[in-house]
Amino acid sequence: MKILIIEDEVKTARFLKRGLSEAGYVIDVAADGLEGLYLAQEVDFDLVILDVMLPVLDGWQVLARLRETERKALVLMLTARDAVHERVRGFELGADDYLVKPFAFSELLARVRSLLRRSTPRPQQTLRMADLEIDLLRQRATRDGQKLDLTSKEFLLLTLLARRAGEVLSRTLIAESVWDMNFDSDTNVVDVNVRRLRSKVDDPFPVKLIHTVRGAGYVFEAGA
């Protein structure tokens, strides 16, 4: 999967490139709008990460010109300004997603993954990780054959973590997905709920599945 980053702020471009490379993507970086537009037109990228404030051509212009061409790359806009009309303008011009600075890298990675996955949705009936098995149809989870006694919210939380195993999920994203709290809510609440889930899913078993990533959120994996 090839991703183009059009970003003039050197440090931002550097950490985006490193982070996304380590996540397994092939990255190109352009430092201004014109260079970015040229690259995006010449090379077949799967995704373009586009900053709004750019020298030479700004992000809106790049987006508009890019949408005039044949290239069907997905576009994720980055901006420092979270005004509703900017968001609307981005979507009208054909942006596929929109992220406001400062953002959590885990959030960006999650968006990139979901954008690139969007084209090939595959419905799953069961999720497995180590000895955990989640039956999505019957809404039950078992570990080592034992049924886990979970509330509906706990089941939702576990499913979210398992579905996106290996990804760091931020507290904000978890609150939004499980409790429909789509704002920076009191994220301690997420910690309390994860702790409770852990007491049922992880504590009685030798292999731990839910791990805290300090300062970032939670990740679901069998190792580490």
Partner 1 sequence: MSSKPEHNSPAAPRLRRTLAFRLSSAYSLAGLLLVILATASLYIVLRAELDRSTELFLADKLHVLGSMLRERPDDEDALREEIELESAARRYQQFYIRLIDQHGAPIMTTPGMAEQLDLAELASRTRGRPGRSIAMAGRVGQPFRVTSATVAVGTPPTHSDTVQIAIDVSQEEELLARYRLWFWGILLATSVLFPLVGYRIARHGIRPVEEIAATARRITSTNLRERIGSEGYPSELASLAGTFNEMLERLEESFERISRFTADIAHDLRTPVNNIRGEAEVALARARTVDEYRDVLESSLEETVRLSELIGDLLFLARAESPLTELHRENVNIAGLLITVRDYYEVSATNEGISLVVHDGAEPLNAALDRSLMLRAVSNLVSNAIAHTPPGGTVTLAATSQDGSICIEVSDTGVGIPAEALPRVFDRFFRVDPSRSKISGGTGLGLAIVESILTLHGGSAEISSQLGRGTRVTLRMPALAMR
Among 24, 149, 188, 206, binds partner 1 (CB under 8 A): 188
What count of Cα atoms within 13 Å lies in the side-chain half-sphere of residue 162?
24
Which of 138/214 has CB closer to partner 1? 214
Amino acid of residue 45: F
Strand (E) positions, 11-59? Answer: 26-30, 47-51
143 Cβ contact list (under 8 Å, min separation 6):
131, 132, 133, 201, 204, 205
Which of 17/106 has CB closer to partner 1? 106
Which of 159/193 has CB closer to partner 1? 193
Strands 47-51 and 2-6: parallel
Which of 179/205 has CB closer to partner 1? 179
Site string for partner 1, 103-122 (x = CB under 8 A): -x------------------
Task: Tell me which residue of 48, 15, 20, 46 sits closest to 30, measured CA to CA.
Answer: 48
Residue 12 is a binding residue for partner 1 (CB under 8 A): no
Q: Which listed range, 34-42, 110-118, 127-135, 179-187, lies at the site for partner 1 (CB under 8 A)? A: 179-187
Residues lying near partner 1 in the complex (CB under 8 A): 82-85, 102, 104, 153, 175, 179-186, 188-189, 192-193, 196, 214-216
